[in-house]
Structure 1
Amino acid sequence: MSTSVLDHPYAPLAVFDRADELRDAHHEQIMFCRDERTGLRAIIAIHDTTLGPGLGGTRFYPYANESLALTDALRLSEGMTYKAAGAGVPLGGAKAVIIGDPATQRTEGLLESYGRFVESLGGRYCTAADVGITSEDLDIIGRTSTHVVGRTTAAGGSGDSGYATALGVFSAMQAAATAIWDGNGLADKVVGVEGIGKVGRHLVAFLQSVGARVVVSDPRPTALSEVGGHDSRVQVADSVLTEELDVYAPCALGASLTAISVAQLSARVVCGAANNQLADGSVAQALTNRSILWVPDYLANAGGLIQVSGELTNEHQADVLARVRRIEHTVGEVIRAALDTDVSTLQAARNIVDQRLTAGRES
């Protein structure tokens, strides 16, 4: 397995000028994409294709500098390798980022140009949606590349993966709740959902269906209006991290779990949809030291990957959702392995994933 990039510092260099910081990444392939005509600047990172072609979403985000964009692509693509192996799908890990503000720079020409770069990889990378990219955007990217999943149903895709991702997070959370609270599950537990986007809003609905009390936070008032104020069991907060919680569900951007935030957490369980939730690898042990059960993000949020992978095999939606629900079983296995071997859930999950990657290399 490739060396983890979680703990590698990256100097603030412009990646289109210098790529010295790539020397420790150990990814299979990294493509820097630029189109002066459309203003496209993008990075495609293929981490590991042992189990199949790399699949991962494209993130369209206004990074402060190109170095931060590269770091995100490296971390996210590595996470996709673990996510695919953990989910048991025959795919590798990859990810892409488009540097810019989608609110002002999203054009059909830019997306079509990006699609041509994806197509040039000949199927080694298949793209999907991530932050800043919609199914409608994927339809446009699909004009110039055949290696696109998650397009709208009208275009022959499976549509937005937010529901499947939320179902997977909810299933993972149920496994964690069973481990901590035995048969009581999530009923009457206080769950803090940080980020009410296309995943968070579905997760809130799932939690309400089993009688959980939900606290939500999001910097966008319009997002909060969709879930707050309609149910007495949903409370809006400036920050869920400062609330008294049983479960913390990070569903926004990553790195919310730091040494400082973990020390302040009241929750017994951390389980959410955000990628790269740990600021660095040491935070997993800090969670374990405080007896906080953390579900590794790449296990909990694999529902979207399972959905779009089903497009590649023409799998029926009911079968796809059944596989998403099996995340509860997978997470339960990881929790038991962590307890039996006295390691963090991060290490237990990686042990299982590494076994699958080793078997793939030897087959």
Structure 2
Amino acid sequence: MTTVWGYDDFDAHEAVHFVTDEASGLRAVIALHSTHLGPAAGGTRFWHYAKDEAAVTDALRLSRGMSYKNAMAGLPLGGGKTVILADEAKTKTPEMLAAFGRAVNRLGGAYVTAEDVGMSVEDMIAISHHTDFVAGLPVEEGAQVGGDPGPHTALGVFLGLKAAVKRKLGKDTLDGLHIAIQGAGSVASHLARHAVEEGARLSIADVNTARVEALSSETGATIVAPADILFLEADVVSPCALGAILNEDTIAKLNTPIIAGAANNQLAHKEDGQRLDARGILYAPDYVINAGGIINVSTEYLKDGGPELVRQRIEGIPGRLDQIWEESEASGRDPAAVADAMAKRLIGRA
């Protein structure tokens, strides 16, 4: 039997909590990777996993990514993440959300949650009835920031994608470029709108037929089969769905000079960063480019600024990417390895 310490993705996590509430059917994993810079912050993912071990792995990987993301974004927050293990029908009840809120509250502020895949603003409202350690709530009267972090994530990805295009292709605009977007959820949809406004030609894919058709109708994007989207001949491939989609097999079949998207943990293994680099594909480390959402959540939760500060912090994302790419070129290490080293220094784990 594998203990949590034996998982490949266990990385000196400060705590991993296994939460069970038999009355509501709640089963969740709350992973706290680091509180070196502040309370561990990261969203809650509601997902059906074929095996429990996959849920633990996801929580470990995502929480580590949040430590790195928050540190690289210059936020006074550590990294944590929750996965709620959904049944095949993805049944979600008020009782389940209440039990989860109580579980977060028992941690006394060591962990702050918000939205992630499968969770909504309405879910955060329900959770907030049982704990104060939650963000991503609607903007209250008199408040300046809050609400769905998705549009802020998309803005950061859009700006970071443009930085990658400038570095790799020497272009200051997306006008006329072909962008292949994997996913048609909140972040992917906002990213698609930004790209179309600047004249990009889009291809999109999503397992949710209604969602992808609606986005195609709005943006004029070409709908592609989910199995094909990563391998299109495109100026940029933008993964905006689930993670671990870049591996030895998929990287060998890529037909793009740039990977820049919102999905967390895009690389299945550390070696995959080297594989992208060896093929001359410019990679935007996911937790750097997709930090816009947590920037907004942080400002909401800490109440340390308004919309101007949120925008200023998000507009810093291209500069951080350029710093990573420059060090990558100078050192010969791939951008993912460079970003990891920077983040580790920031959280005291150099």
The alignment's TM-score, normalised by the length of structure 1, stands at 0.90
SS at match of 1:216: strand
Corresponding letter in the other structure for 1:144 = H
Which of the residues 252, 261, 265 maps onto 2:241?
Answer: 252
Deviates more, 1:183-192 or 1:86-95: 183-192
> Mean alpha-carbon deviation: is it higher for 259-268 or for 22-31?
22-31
Partner of residue 30 from structure 2, selected from 44, 47, 54: 44
The corresponding residue for 1:181 is 169
Q: Please give the alpha-carbon distance, in whole angstroms, between the structure 2 residues aligned to 1:130 and 1:100.
A: 14
Residue 216 (structure 1) aligned with residue 204 (structure 2):
yes
Mark the runs of 5 or more structure 1 residues left unpaired by the alignment: 1-10
Q: What is residue 73 of structure 2 aligned with on the other side?
A: 87
Q: Distance in 1 between matches of 2:63 and 2:35?
A: 11
- TM-superposed deviation, 1:102: 8.7
Number of matched residues?
A: 344
Cα separation, 2, equivalents of 1:104 and 1:284? 33
Tell me the SS of whatever aligns to 2:43: strand
Aligned 8 A contact 2:196 2:219 in 1 = no
Distance 1:184 1:171, change over 3 A: closer
Long gaps (5+) in structure 2: none
**Contact 1:60 1:102 (C-alpha < 8 Å) held by counterparts:** no
Query: 1:102, 1:132 within 8 Å by CA — same for their partners in 2?
Result: no
Q: Which amino acid aligns with 2:19?
A: C
The within-5 A match list for 1:131-146 is 131-146=117-132
Q: 1:327 maps to which residue?
A: 317
Mapped contact 1:60–1:101 kept (Cα < 8 A): no
User: What secondary structure does 2:134 align onto?
Assistant: coil
Q: Larger deviation: 132-141 or 308-317?
A: 308-317
Distance 1:347 1:129 in 2: 28
The Cα offsets for residues 239-289 of structure 1, whole Å up to 9 and x where unpaired, read as 312321110100000011111111111110001010110111111000000
Quick check: 1:283 aligned with 2:272?
yes
Instruction: Please state whether the residue corresponding to 2:16 is helix, strand or coil.
Output: strand
Instruction: Give the Cα–Cα distance (whole angstroms) in 2 for the partners of residues 32 and 306 of structure 1.
Output: 27
Give CA deviations for 1:314-346 in whole Å, capped at 9, x if unaligned. Answer: 221232122112111111111111112121001
Q: Does the C-alpha gap of structure 1 residues 316 and 103 become closer, same or farther in structure 2, counting only changes over 3 Å?
A: farther
SS of alignment partner, residue 323 of structure 1? helix
2:344 pairs, out of 342, 346, 354, with: 354
The one-character-per-residue Cα deviations of 1:150-190 (angstroms, maximum 9, x if unpaired) are 01225977111110000011111111111112244422111
Contact map agreement 2:154 2:262 (CA 8 A) in 1: yes
- What is the aligned counterpart of 2:299 among 300, 310, 313? 310
Amino acid across the alignment from 1:278: L
Q: Residue in 2 aligned with 1:149?
A: 135
Alignment CA distance shift 1:115-1:351 (3 Å):
same
Displacement of 1:38 in angstroms is: 0.5
Give the aligned residue type for 2:257: R
1:75 matches 2:64: no
Show the 5 A alignment for 1:18-57: 19=4, 21=6, 24-57=10-43
Question: In structure 1, what is the equivalent of residue 188 of structure 2?
Answer: 200
- Contact 1:78 1:93 survives alignment (8 Å): yes
| 1:25/1:335 CA distance change after superposition, 3 Å | closer
| Equivalent position of 2:259 in the other structure | 270
- Residue 109 of structure 1: which of 95, 109, 121 is its match? 95
- Find the aligned partners of 1:202 and 1:102 in 2 and give their Cα distance: 28
1:236 and 2:220 matched:
no
The equivalent position to 1:125 in structure 2, one of 108, 111, 116, is: 111
Deviation at 1:220, TM superposition (A): 1.0
State TM-score, norm by structure 2. 0.93
Structure 1 contact 166–303 (Cα < 8 Å) conserved:
yes
One-letter amino acid of the structure 2 residue matched with residue 72 of structure 1 = D
Partner of 1:339: 329
**Match for 1:202: what amino acid?**
H
RMSD: 1.9
